[in-house]
Amino acid sequence: MIAVFLFLNALVLASSIVMEVQRTHTEPPFALWEPFIWQFTSAIAVLLLIPLIHAYLNKRPLSWLTPIRSVVIFLVLAIIFSIAHVGLMVGMRKLVYLYQGRSYIFGSLAFEFIYELRKDILTFATLLIISYGYHFIVSRLMNEAETIKEVAEEEPTATNPETTQNKATDQAVTSRDRLLVKKLGKEFIVRLEDVEWMEASGNYINLHIGQRIYPIRKTLSAFTLEIANKGFCRIHRSHSINLDRIDSIISLPSGDGEVTLNSGKVLPISRRYKDELKCRLL
């Protein structure tokens, strides 16, 4: 979808440049193919950078829990994105012009880069909005997790009341070990021991398992308490972790702390929950 949008946008912008010149009834100061090369090289450069952006944000996602840090990271990434975009775009244009036996002149580097940077910051922000928006919608519609106990209670079988009651009891006992995950019309069993950490998100909790995220309709405090005997502990108003996934813990001068998981994920520890975490680890 992004590729289609970028190429249609490039086509419209290039044709607009040609039409604006033709409005004046003067001979265009460029060949008719040049505006299309300018716009399409820009679109291709953006497409080449999207996988790199995606890979970086998968490892180090921006978080609204640390807005100042996220804004700084966003600005740094936007500048790097702009430098890479301009470099790729100009490189491709020079190759095309060379093939045509001509020379491409970018202009004053400082002026042209600032000109491109203004647009690239907006482009980068749009790509982030699309990426996070798509991820949010898909996770809500296709990866919704429920405890097995809840499913058993909502969908009882009426064939044999006694058997149904025994089955529901058995599932209730194991409900703290497994989750029923509904994804793309299928149902999967997810073990709680595979959950690395949990994050509060409005009326949901996001369960993080590797690169996958499964939302569940519960509050973080209630669900953490429910599965506390399975090795989960609250470390922040927005985070709980699987104690078996801890790699290291450091204390900060502010009294708070940070925990690093085996996956390399770093999460904040609120001073309010530090004592509880220490007791659980002893």
pLDDT over threshold 80, residue 147: no
| Distances, alpha carbon 250 to alpha carbons 61, 70, 258, 266, in Å | 21, 22, 5, 11
Q: pLDDT tens-digit profile of 4-54?
A: 999 999 999 999 988 888 887 677 788 889 999 999 999 999 999 999 988
User: What are the residue boundaries of the structural domains of the chain, listed by start?
Assistant: 2-142, 159-281
Query: Is 125 within 8 Å of 78 (Cβ atoms)?
Result: yes
Average model confidence (pLDDT) for the chain?
82
Residue 56 or residue 103, greater confidence: 103
CATH code of the region 159-281: 2.40.50.1020
User: How high is the pLDDT of residue 279?
Assistant: 87
Residue of 190, 245, 242, 186 whose CA lies nearest to 213: 190
Q: 2-23 and 34-59 are packed helices; what angle lies between their axes, rounded to 10 degrees?
A: 150
Q: Tell me how far apart the alpha carbons of residues 189 and 185 are, in angstroms, rounded to a whole number.
A: 14
Bridge-based pairing of strands 178-183 and 186-191 is antiparallel
**E-strand stretches of 96-244:** 144-147, 178-183, 186-191, 197-201, 204-209, 212-216, 232-236, 239-242
Bridge-based pairing of strands 246-251 and 197-201 is unpaired
Distance CA 164, CA 237 (A): 38
pTM for this predicted structure = 0.55
